Amino acid sequence: MAGDHLPTFAARPEPLDDKYAWIASQFVAVQEASGFHRFDHKIARSYKMFTESAPNVKCDGGPYWNIAQVFEETTKLSLLGFLSLLFGSLARFNKFDPQAFVNDPRNYGLSRTWFASTKIPSEALDLFLALVSATPAEFRSAYEKRNQGASDFTAFRDRPLFRDGDYLFVIDFAFLAEKFETGPFWAIHDSLPNKASKDGFHAFWGRVFERYGCDVLKAAADQSRNVIYEAPNFTDKGKGQVCDAIVVCGSSAAFIELKGSTFSSRAKYGGDYLQLKAELDEKLVEDADGGAKAVLQLKRAIELTCRRNDPEPINDVDLNRVRYVYPVIITRDDIGSTLGVNAFLQVRFDAVARRKQMKKIVTPLFCVNAEDLERFTAYLHDTLFTDLLEAHYRANRERGEHLVNTYFSTSDNAILKEKGIRRPEIHVHSWHELAESAAQHLGLHP
């Protein structure tokens, strides 16, 4: 019977942190499979991170990776060539005709002739297809090596095109779109010789995301309403950086941590909420060596700058008029906008935040993913960033004290009701730029 195939859920745990980690573990795969996270945002974001954010990180003085150079050395395919061929492949699968597919499945297949009108050499096309496709035997081998459970589609994400003779068929359109980021990232990562170099590459990619997030905010914000301070430092040089960004909005301010961490397939799809809980703690609260991550970094920044006695000044940032402080975490990984994750991190922040010792009102902690940040930018020319956060808090307040629901899926958000769902201009611009770049590289005329 159909009911025999329905999943059997374990009993929901009682402690708040366990409960919210359990909820998140049940919804990670569900949200991904339902198309909750938009592939067009992933494509535009990845293009900007590779072509603008990554090169600009060279200026910050930390370890630098020339992504385009290392990718080409690793794959023998240029980065722009890979992205352009991927864009061309997506165009092939953009429209689906069910009747034509029934008549002949090859009507929805990709063959080498699709690229016949381009100027891409045959050798480059072979290299590209090897990076994005696999045979049934290769898929089987991949799952025999690593399989984290029924919701783990890592092998299909790695090679989203199924190769059958001269034709390739898309397994999942969103998986193919994800390759704009995961293709270059993992090709470089997997070529590195040891854990130290791989950890260094992850750290570099985190800095790239920090730069991207700040650039997105600065490009969209009306500086008379939302004043953006990127990587502000304490006046006392010994105390270092305050946080990744501060947005001052009149009498309120958002303290932001941008996190580029990648969460493992075991944590996301293994079905063990304790594993997800451990990884959330490790990457967003405190690592195994006791190093502060987003939650504890925000705690420190807010306590030092907002305490009643001798608050620490910040270079070029005046918080004297600020009465409300909003702690915000933004993740590159979609996990940040998974149901239950914000509530989990809110519990962690509440456990350490010493609000009674603050001379400013510290709000609940907010957590969103990069896509939601991009969608926020559509409102920043006429809306305070902190008003967007406050609207979300008020919309959730009747459901309890913790922010379980994700931002754009929460009903009764007063700002979204008044102004509607907007498409961010920065997203539109990135799409046009990518399309023009890909067409030029492929030798086509859009």
In the 3-class helix/strand/coil scheme, how is 238-279 assigned residue by residue? HHCECCCEEEEECCEEEEEEEECCCCCHHHHHCCCHHHHHHH
Q: Calculate mean pLDDT across residues 42-60.
A: 90
Structure confidence by residue, pLDDT tens digits, 143-155:
888 877 777 888 8
Considering only CA atoms, which of 319, 337, 339 is closest in space to residue 329?
337
- Neighbouring CB atoms inside 10 A of 146's CB total 11
Evaluate whether residue 381 is within a structural domain.
Answer: yes
- Who has greater pLDDT, 75 or 97? 75
The predicted pLDDT at position 29 comes to 87
Q: Which domain holds residue 290?
A: 206-430
The predicted pLDDT at position 446 comes to 57
d(CA 370, CA 260): 9
Could you tell me how far CA 105 lies from the centroid of its own chain? 34
Do 286 and 397 belong together in one domain? yes
Q: Calculate mean pLDDT across residues 218-234.
A: 93
* Cβ–Cβ < 8 Å for 334, 39: no
Do 275 and 404 belong together in one domain? yes
Evaluate whether residue 395 is within a structural domain.
Answer: yes
Do 183 and 281 belong together in one domain? no
Residue 2 has pLDDT above 70, yes or no: no
Hey, what are 195's tokens?
């854990």
Residues 6+ apart with CB under 8 A from 250: 225, 321, 384
Evaluate whether residue 49 is within a structural domain.
Answer: no
Do 167 and 269 belong together in one domain? no
- Neighbouring CB atoms inside 10 A of 326's CB total 25
Do 213 and 185 belong together in one domain? no
Q: Is 442 helix (H, G, I), strand (E, B) or coil?
A: helix
Residue 5 has pLDDT above 50, yes or no: no
Quote the percentage of the chain above a pLDDT of 70.
97
Structure confidence by residue, pLDDT tens digits, 333-379:
999 999 999 999 999 999 999 999 999 999 999 999 999 999 999 99
Q: Calculate mean pLDDT across residues 406-429.
A: 89
Do 283 and 401 belong together in one domain? yes
* Cβ–Cβ < 8 Å for 207, 58: no
Q: Which of 221-225, 318-322, 341-345 has the lowest mean pLDDT?
A: 221-225
Residues 6+ apart with CB under 8 A from 72: 78, 79
Residue with tokens 């909420």: 273
Residue with tokens 């500086």: 223
Q: Is 421 helix (H, G, I), strand (E, B) or coil?
A: coil
pLDDT category, 1, cuts 50, 70, 90? very low
Amino acid identity for residue 219 in this structure: A
Considering only CA atoms, which of 291, 403, 286, 398 is closest in space to residue 339?
403
Do 328 and 270 belong together in one domain? yes
Considering only CA atoms, which of 430, 369, 372 is closest in space to residue 47?
430
HEC sequence for 282-336:
HHHCECCCCCECHHHHHHHHHHHHHECCCCCCECCECCCCCCEEEEEEEECCHHH
Do 358 and 258 belong together in one domain? yes
d(CA 255, CA 243): 7
Hey, what are 4's tokens?
């025999």
Q: Is 190 helix (H, G, I), strand (E, B) or coil?
A: helix
Supply the mean pLDDT for the chain. Answer: 91
The predicted pLDDT at position 11 comes to 62
Residue 27: half-sphere exposure toward Cβ, Cα within 13 Å: 21
d(CA 228, CA 260): 20
Considering only CA atoms, which of 419, 411, 408 is closest in space to residue 384?
419
Evaluate whether residue 21 is within a structural domain.
Answer: no
Do 142 and 117 belong together in one domain? yes
Q: Which of 109-113, 295-299, 362-366 has the lowest mean pLDDT?
A: 109-113
- Who has greater pLDDT, 311 or 401? 311
Query: In 1-56, at which residue ranges do the beta strands (DSSP E only) sit?
Result: none
* Cβ–Cβ < 8 Å for 53, 192: no
Hey, what are 12's tokens?
């929901």
Hey, what are 429's tokens?
């611009």
pTM here?
0.93
Q: Calculate mean pLDDT across residues 251-276.
A: 94
The predicted pLDDT at position 138 comes to 92
Do 164 and 295 belong together in one domain? no
Do 151 and 217 belong together in one domain? no
Q: Could you tell me what percentage of the chain is helix, strand and coil, using 3-state DSSP and rounding each to the nearest 5? A: 55, 10, 30
d(CA 395, CA 203): 36
- DSSP secondary structure letter of residue 2: G
- What is the H or E stretch that residue 372 is in? helix 370-376
Q: Is 125 helix (H, G, I), strand (E, B) or coil?
A: helix
Residue 445 has pLDDT above 80, yes or no: no
* Cβ–Cβ < 8 Å for 74, 191: yes
Do 123 and 233 belong together in one domain? no
d(CA 225, CA 250): 7
d(CA 283, CA 422): 31
Residue 158 has pLDDT above 80, yes or no: yes
* Cβ–Cβ < 8 Å for 351, 344: no
Please count the structural domains in the chain: 2
Evaluate whether residue 8 is within a structural domain.
Answer: no
